[in-house]
Structure 1
Amino acid sequence: MVKRVLMIAYHFPPASGSSGMQRTLSFSRDLPEHDWQPIILSIYPRAYERRCDDQLADIGSETIVYRAFGLDTARHLALGGRYSRFLALPDRWVSWWLGAVPAGLRLIRRYRPQVLWSTYPIATAHLIGLTLHRLSGIPWIADFRDSMTEDNYPSNPRVRRAYRAVEAATVHRCTRAIFTAPGAVRMYAERYPERSDKTWVLIENGYEDSIFDTVSLPSLRDSPRPFRLVHSGVVYPNERDPRAFFEALASLKRSGQITAQSLQVVFRASGSEDYFRQLLREWGIDDIVHFEPHIPYRGALAEMLTADGLLILQASNCNHQIPAKLYEYLRARRPILGLTDSEGDTARVLRQAGIETVAPLDSAAAITATLQDFLKQLQDGTAPVASEAEIARSSRRSRVASLAECLEETIATDLNFER
């Protein structure tokens, strides 16, 4: 018998620039193989800051998609560039709750889903899931992915209090809480010890092989060219601060070990480009490092597949998080330079894959030494790539199987929760 799951997700095609969208898209496309039909409750595309239609064709043929009313407070409800903070708590898309709750109730009456599922990083998605759960009594799975709150995150205290309130209500009412890294599972188990160990579920991110198989690769010239390192995706000034990396590049350039003719570094769709370009000018490496705009998803994958090396950045304050792009890096079968804390979950995944080219993100000296070794390995053709076993394990197909198992357990088990 085919069962149904109502999936509440802000990021869904034609949204652009979110790794979370790939997670929901893959889950929804592959769940029918496990006898689950997905019903997507998303937001009307006007709410997206950036849209791209290139992945609309990737939506599964059995996926039912409904897009509810919702506005971006900062863009649609501002006067003179200013808007009321009350209209942006817990986030700028809180108006989505007004459209999604009645839409969700209609979908529940029509399709009779056995499970509700909502996914962060838009906190309003969990608020919608919470409301629909309370009104319908249908068991609810909260896909947190990463932590909603930390001691100093979000940085605005009022927003942090709002997030913590949504987080606490979600944890106490949901049947299962899913995270993408072991460190996050441990953190929440310690933060909410009243919940059973069965509450916490680890389903990591991954790559989608069916999309990789459709990527068109450009023809490469045989003529000599610089080594090309690529970082694909957002560079957060705090959590992925590249300044020590820039300092290492500047040091190697001053000593004559690298030039613009020997090395090019591309940051693709990083955000904060103006700020970073100023740093490049100050370090004198703006001929080596380039910040390039967003391109369609398959184009970004093609860039990974043809790079000489791939760059991952993750600060020690995110040791319990793993950038989703790392799994796509593994699938690309290209050498990876990991600038991250050796004790964190990101470094753990790299080591599991057989990649040891890792240096702490905040140490220019360590990065300089590791980068020298990495470039020599590229030159010699000895730079390691991910093991085939780890590549196979990181496929989203295995993640979807884990989600299907979680859905089955949710409807099969009658747990007594404190409400």
Structure 2
Amino acid sequence: MKSALFISYIFPPLGGSGVQRTLKFIKYLRNFDWKPIVVTTGQLNFPQIDYTMIEEIPEDVRVIRINEQHSLTLNQLQNITKLYDDLVKDKTILDDYLNLMSNEKASLIPDSCIAWANNVIEQIDSLIDINKVDLVYTTSGPYSDHVVGYYLKRRFNKPWVADFRDEWTNNAYLNDIDKNSLIYKVHREMEESIVNFADSIITTTPLASDNYVSLFDLPKEKVFTVTNGYDEEDFQEIKIDKLARKNERFTIIHNGLLYSIRTPDTFLRALYNLIKTNLIPRGKIQVQFIGAVEDKKQWEEYVKDLGIDDIVKFEEYLNHSESLTKAATADVLLLIVGPGNKCKSVYTGKVFEYLRLGKPIISLSPPDGLVDKLIKKNNRGYNVEFHDILAIENAIFKLYRKWANNEPLNLPITSDIRRFERRELTRQLASIFDKVLSMHQMKIKKDLILKDVKDTLSRLLDLGNIEQAKQIINSNSDLLNVDAEMCTMKSIIEIAENKLEDAEITLKRARRIDKTNVDVLYNLGYIYERKGLFNEALYYYEEALKYTTDQKFATELNVIIEKIKKNGSSPNFVI
């Protein structure tokens, strides 16, 4: 049985919707010939704790708990800074951020869990034999999980799958992002390094997958979609059929987190209008919000001001089984996704459990978004735009009338819904693991061949044997599509033969493979300098300076850059 090392900060007994995905993968992965080993936190300072979910971890799964600390020593801060050094390729951006951090004007990036990630990186090989691990899987948030994956792949050359439960810098729930801000740029640099270095990326929605392909120019075959889902065993345990009875009052339940742009504001205003106009009698309806609510006191005051505090209740966080049991008693389920085009690409974790509960859904999300299409395809109720209060009123009233007229509200569980069952989703994950592992093994073989070819080329170029070097490159031309260093060697030959146009084409090819390769950038600068295109030369020399870690070379580059700035430039340069 193959082994997968799961790096997951959020894991039982930590609760919340984010924990379900990883836990269910762990629960069923052995059915598909993969043995999971879990590395998680040992701390319990988390908003939601759910000890009942520990019972779902298979007994033979090893769980390694590594503690974190919130008061960091100077040495620990220096180690975290070293983590940033490889992840943030643009050293100007990194230096500016480190300067802010040293003046205590910036928090740790990508999140507060980076200190835990640093502990994992420092301790992991003393706790587990990494050589016996076949693959590394990391899941976010927190995004610090992926920092661990980056360094485990780099240090041990293990295939690595990075699973994004939510997008990172393109996250729909990040408010007022200033893309020109330093903090955003650091996050973006980290994300780019991670998604390019990982062997595979997984997202929870097809639109999120498309976003990663387009935003980071990733190969489509590298990015997979595995949605969230529901676990059939959860629903068998709560005896859902016995709970599915009509309530004395028309009962709407929202199950899950409310935060950021995901607020109950427009729903509450629609409810108030229905009560005020007596379309729904006050004594015939109740609404329950179950789970963590950001600014809970504010919303309790809000419903009190509207005069509907006898109808609307905000209940505390319940463990997963209790929250499902409660939701199963609803007549209608409320799903709040949020406004704006970014929310089109969002499936909330709860939507699939809502589908399995077999209840009508009122969803507040963008028209033509993923949730809208999912609800329409499965005939599961109504999706309305978040700000369309009249449409929300109509959806509530239509379902209330059905309830009042004793029309059945329970809905069948179809094959289209069963495809979101956690066991099936874990099968998909295992299939991705198999593909990534197979490709990694093939790459190791190709890398050995590539190394031999490059070693031979390097010796020939050192000896000035251009003709034989050309023969080697021509007989291994397929390697030019995958290795920037091979392209650089070819460009050296072309430059020696004064074929500057050919060398430029070769290096542009190399840059598509590796945008930050210093030799590629320097050679492009050299070609443009030879051609008298000094602005172009200046740009590529400065790019090479940005990414080099060789101080001697950086000094030489600075001399060249100052010389070009002093002696002139070429107009009409467009990148």
- Give TM-score, length-normalised by structure 1: 0.90
Q: Tell me what 1:29 maps to.
A: 27
What is the Cα deviation at residue 86 of structure 1? 4.8
CA apart distance, 1:387: 4.3
Determine the structure 2 residue equivalent to 1:232: 255
**RMSD of aligned residue pairs (Cα, Å):** 2.6
Q: 1:324 aligns with which of 349, 355, 363?
A: 349
Mark the CA change 1:161 to 1:296 in structure 2 (over 3 Å): closer, same or farther: same
**Distance between the aligned counterparts of 1:261 and 1:172, measured in 2?**
57
CA distance in 1, matches of 2:37, 2:46: 20
Q: Quote the Cα distance in structure 1 between the aligned partners of 2:264 and 2:417.
A: 27
Q: Distance in 2 between matches of 1:221 and 1:406?
A: 37
Residue 12 of structure 1 corresponds to which residue in structure 2? Answer: 11
| TM-score normalized by the length of structure 2 | 0.67
Return the index of the structure with the highest Cα Rg.
2
Query: In the alignment, which residue of structure 1 is the partner of 2:166?
Result: 146
On the 8 A contact 1:69/1:98 being kept in 2, the answer is no
1:181 alignment partner in structure 2: 205
- Residues 353 and 93 of structure 1: CA distance in aligned 2, closer, same or farther (over 3 Å): same
Structure 2 gap segments, 5+ residues each: 73-102, 444-481, 484-512, 515-575
SS state at 2:111 partner: coil
| Aligned match of 1:409 | 435
Consecutive unaligned residues of structure 1, counting only runs of 5 or more, are 75-82
Corresponding residue of 2:134: 114
Task: Report what 1:97 is aligned to.
Answer: 117
Aligned to 2:374: 349
Retained in 2: the 8 A contact 1:229–1:309?
yes
**How far apart, in 1, do the equivalents of 2:171 and 2:356 lie?**
34
Relative to 1, partners in 2 of residues 1:59 and 1:84: Cα closer, same or farther, differing over 3 Å? farther
Q: Which moved more, 1:105-114 or 1:199-208?
A: 105-114
Paired letter, 1:89: I
| Greater helix fraction, Structure 1 or Structure 2 | 2
Question: How much does 1:222 deviate?
Answer: 8.7
CA deviation after TM superposition for structure 1 residue 392, in Å = 1.1
2:358 maps to which residue? 333
CA contact (8 A) 2:165 2:203 kept: yes
SS at 2:251's partner residue?
Answer: strand
Q: Which amino acid aligns with 1:12?
A: F
Evaluate the alpha carbon distance shift between residue 109 and residue 61 of structure 1 in structure 2; reply closer, same or farther with a 3 A threshold: same
Match of 1:3 in 2: 2
Structure 2 residue matching 1:29: 3-state secondary structure: helix
C-alpha spacing 1:29/1:223, structure 2 compared with 1 (3 Å): closer
Q: Following TM superposition, by how much is the alpha carbon of 1:228 offset from its aligned partner in structure 2, in angstroms?
A: 1.0
Query: How far apart, in 1, do the equivalents of 2:308 and 2:301 lie?
Result: 10
Aligned in 2, Cα 1:114/1:221: closer, same or farther, shift over 3 Å? closer
1:313 to 322, 331, 336: 336
CA apart distance, 1:158:
5.1
- Which whole-Å CA distance do the structure 1 matches of 2:213 and 2:233 have between them? 35
Cα drift, residue 104 of structure 1: 2.8
Please, which of 381, 387, 392 is the counterpart of residue 362 of structure 1?
Answer: 387
Q: Cα offset for 1:22? A: 0.7
Match of 1:319, SS state, is: helix
Q: Which protein, 1 or 2, shows the higher relative CO under an 8 Å CA cutoff with sep ≥ 6?
A: 1
- Counterparts of 1:119-130 in structure 2, within 5 Å, are 119-130=139-150
Given residue 65 of structure 1, which amino acid in structure 2 is its aligned partner?
A: V
1:270 maps to what in 2?
A: 292
CA distance in 2, matches of 1:210, 1:40: 22
SS of the residue aligned with 2:237? Answer: coil
Change (3 A) 1:146 1:223: closer
Task: Decide whether aligned partners of structure 1 residues 30 and 91 sit closer, same or farther in structure 2, where only a CA change above 3 A counts.
Answer: same
User: Is it true that 1:243 corresponds to 2:265 in the alignment?
Assistant: yes
1:373 corresponds in structure 2 to: 398
Whole-angstrom CA distance in 2 between matches of 1:276 and 1:85: 32
Counterpart contact for 2:356–2:413, Cα < 8 Å: no
> What is the CA–CA distance in structure 1 between the aligned matches of 2:12 and 2:301, rounded to whole Å?
33
Using the TM superposition, give the Cα deviation of residue 97 of structure 1 relative to its aligned residue in structure 2, in angstroms: 1.6
Per the TM alignment, residue 113 of structure 1 is displaced from its structure 2 partner at its CA by: 1.1
Letter in 1 for 2:20: Q
- Identity rate, percent: 25
Between the aligned partners of 1:110 and 1:147, the Cα distance in structure 2 is 29
Which residue identity lines up with residue 286 of structure 1 in the other structure? Answer: D
The alpha carbon displacement at 1:151 in A equals: 8.2
Q: Look up the equivalent residue of 1:171 and give its one-letter code.
A: V
Of 15, 36, 53, which residue of structure 2 is paired with 1:55? Answer: 53
**What are the Cα deviations for residues 229-252 of structure 1, in whole angstroms up to 9, with x where unaligned?**
1101111241x2321111111111
Q: Is the 8 A contact 1:357 1:374 kept in 2?
A: no
How has the CA–CA distance of structure 1 residues 52 and 7 changed in structure 2, closer, same or farther, with 3 Å as cutoff? same
How far 1:192 sits from its partner (Å)?
Answer: 1.4
What letter corresponds to residue 63 of structure 2 in structure 1?
V
